[in-house]
Amino acid sequence: MRKEENGKLQQVICNGCGKELKIENEIVREGCFAADVRFGYFSRKDGLRHKFD
């Protein structure tokens, strides 16, 4: 989960274990898997976007 303040990244917390990941200058400095899926045509979710870390 990402927490932003005034458009700047402040904190990233692992959705699996709850660990807070290290951040320097708005860049995550530890291993982090980010997913960003946009559903395409011919799907019940056509046009939706799912995004998570």
The answer to whether residues 14 and 22 touch, using CB atoms and an 8 Å cutoff, is no
pLDDT score of 31: 84
Structural domain tally of the chain?
1
- Give the closest residue to 1 by CA, choosing from 25, 27, 21, 24: 21
Amino acid identity for residue 2 in this structure: R
Short-list 25, 37, 5, 23, CA closest to 13: 23
Per-residue model confidence (pLDDT) at position 20? 92
| Residue 33 pLDDT | 78
Q: Is residue 14 a contact partner of residue 33, using CB atoms and an 8 Å limit?
A: no
pLDDT for 22: 92
Q: What are the pLDDT digits (tens) for 5-18?
A: 898 988 988 888 88
pLDDT along the chain (53 residues), means of 10: 87 87 89 81 78 73
Cβ neighbourhood burial of 45 (10 Å; 0-12, 13-18, 19+)? exposed
Q: Give residue 12's domain range.
A: 2-52
- Does the predicted TM-score (pTM) go above 0.85? no
